[in-house]
Amino acid sequence: MIKKYAQTQAYFCLSCIILHYPKYPVFRNMGKITFIEPDGDAHVVQSEDGDSLLEIAQANKIHVEHECEGNCACTTCHVQVMEGDNELSEMEDAEANRLGMIPFMNFRSRLACQARIEGDGDLLVKIDPPREGGHH
Ligand code: FES
């Protein structure tokens, strides 16, 4: 009886669950992101805590312009976060300053390379069409 009890304890060992916690997606922060492409196509993908919107789009073969390769030095990765902006990292000065350079910025604007997932809720993100001429 004691042996059986001990086995049960080991099976439900809290330390083991905590130790292996990151391995199991069911326990991780994973919401869904719906990316809307400029032509209206929608792609629903899994979000990944800590990753930028650009990284998640690229990992799922969704095209987002990124002329400066994610260095906050252009605005080609501009997206509009229609829902779930509270699931993203706070906007830092560099991103705000860069966004201030584009005339069509609005309160939904983020740079996909700078906005990182910090929650497990869902997002709706509209991708800008590629711009003609200068991309800055
Ligand atoms: S890729 Fe250039 S600012 Fe995001």
**pLDDT tens for each residue of 90-103:** 999 999 999 999 99
Proportion of the chain above pLDDT 90, given as a percent: 70
| pLDDT winner (highest mean) among 24-38, 60-74, 121-135 | 60-74
Provide the pLDDT for residue 13.
54
Domains of the chain (ranges; CATH) run: 29-127 (3.10.20.30)
Q: 5-19 pLDDT, tens per residue?
A: 555 454 555 555 445
Q: Within 6 Å (CB) of ligand 1, which residues are found?
A: 66-68, 70, 72-77, 111, 113
Closest to 37 in 3D by CA, of 16, 13, 60: 60
Q: Which atom of ligand 1 is nearest to the CA of 69?
A: 1
What is the arithmetic mean of pLDDT over 57-83?
97
- Helical residues (DSSP H) of the chain, grouped into ranges: 2-11, 14-20, 53-59, 93-99
* Whole-number Å distance between alpha carbons of 110 and 127: 10
Please state the atom number of ligand 1 nearest to the C-alpha of residue 66. Answer: 1
Asked whether the predicted pLDDT for residue 54 surpasses 60, the reply is yes
Of 113, 103, 28, nearest in space to 68 by CA: 113
pTM over 0.95: no
Please, which pLDDT band fits residue 30 given cuts at 50, 70 and 90? Answer: confident
